Structure 1
Amino acid sequence: MVNSKGKQTAKAERRLVELGIELPPAPTPFGAYAESVQTGNLLYLSGMLPAVGHEPRFVGRLGKEFEVEQGREAAQIAALNALSAARKHLGSLDRVTKVVKLAVYLATEGDFFAQPKVADAASELLRDVFGEDKLPVRTVLGLASLPLGVPVVLEVVFEVEA
């Protein structure tokens, strides 16, 4: 595949292999909602948690129980879950043509101001898998608490081949 600048770009599934990333099983809902919904060429993913085996891997807030590095790890786990949910819905991540939007919600304590650094972990993973030219717009918000006490929740919108 060649991008608009004439550079060779790797397909997402091949990039996963090159990066040594094995996706976890796709997450299942923790409540009465769908993990993914497609309308037209947009795939919306519900809030992706840093859960492993349907159990939160991290419980607590950034700046209290966790520092930046643990927050980055939680964001990466949530991003891997997003990729798994997208692959399950689409059959292949190669159908993603653009990462449209990434919203990163962080449970933070008081004077924690490194939200962008934590959110970058998810953005960097998406960039590494899909390419620099597919980076999304991003919103990062610090909140008092999140579902199940997790420190990170991601919402992702993908543009996909019809």
Structure 2
Amino acid sequence: MIDNIEKALIAKGIDLPKPAAPVASYVPAVEANGLLHISGQVSMHDGELITGRLGDNMSLEEGQQAAKACALMIAAQIKKAVGSLDRVDRVVKLGVYVNSTADYTDQPKVANGCSDMMEVIFGAAGIHARSAVGVAALPLGVAVEVDAIIALKTE
């Protein structure tokens, strides 16, 4: 079933990816007390990992695209977990991890790729609190990983 938010995305030319399967001992999403906790989603596009390190072999714009891809995967995981993007009441918080060199300081700008896409997907409900940090390495060499806390509408 295609929900109203997904219809709006399709009209904008935005397709959700297939939700990625976990690569270790965890589940992609856990719902507790009206909050949906989405495990870290790594940067991938069309099933291919987006790898690289900001401040080394990846531009700010490429990093923002990697973060945008994480936002789309988070949306795909939400839909898989609760059946409809229309159940989202609010994107509460994002944790954005950027694979970057020790002297790189534009992690917040990279994270905007994800934050801006959340607003495209969910409108005002996509505006959220956020952390954006640089890390020495991420799983599988990816450029960006993002986890999320989502408030759900009561059924």
- The CA deviation at 1:133 is 4.6
Alpha-carbon deviations, 1:51-100, whole Å to 9, x = none? Answer: 246542x2221111101011011111111111100011111100000000
* Pairing 1:111-130 to 2, within 5 Å after superposition: 111-130=103-122
Distance 1:28 1:131 in 2: 27
From 34, 38, 63, give the equivalent of 2:27. 34
Q: What are structure 1's unaligned runs of at least 5 residues?
A: 1-10
Q: Percent identity, aligned pairs only? A: 36
Alpha-carbon deviations, 1:84-140, whole Å to 9, x = none? Answer: 000111111000000000110111113221111110010000001111354110001
- The CA deviation at 1:18 is 3.0
Q: Which residue is 1:44 aligned to? A: 37
Deviates more, 1:18-27 or 1:151-160: 18-27
Instruction: Tell me the C-alpha RMSD between the 2 structures.
Output: 1.5
* Pairing 1:155–2:150 present: no
The one-letter code sitting in structure 2 at the alignment partner of 1:37 is V
Q: Which residue is 2:6 aligned to? A: 13
The one-letter code sitting in structure 1 at the alignment partner of 2:55 is G
The one-letter code sitting in structure 1 at the alignment partner of 2:116 is E
Q: Structure 1 residues 35, 133: closer, same or farther in 2, change over 3 A?
A: closer
Deviates more, 1:127-136 or 1:33-42: 127-136
Secondary structure at the residue paired with 1:65? coil
* Pairing 1:146–2:124 present: no
Distance 2:46 2:91 in 1: 25
- The CA deviation at 1:149 is 1.1
* Pairing 1:92-107 to 2, within 5 Å after superposition: 92-107=84-99
Alignment check: 8 A CA contact 2:34 2:151 kept: yes
The one-letter code sitting in structure 2 at the alignment partner of 1:142 is G
Secondary structure at the residue paired with 1:131? helix
* Pairing 1:62–2:54 present: yes
Alignment check: 8 A CA contact 2:64 2:113 kept: yes
- The CA deviation at 1:27 is 1.0
The one-letter code sitting in structure 1 at the alignment partner of 2:51 is V
- Higher Cα Rg, which structure: 1
* Pairing 1:109–2:101 present: yes
Q: What are structure 2's unaligned runs of at least 5 residues?
A: none
Distance 1:36 1:86 in 2: 8
Q: Structure 1 residues 148, 23: closer, same or farther in 2, change over 3 A?
A: same
Secondary structure at the residue paired with 2:15? coil
Query: How high is the TM-score relative to the length of structure 2?
Result: 0.91
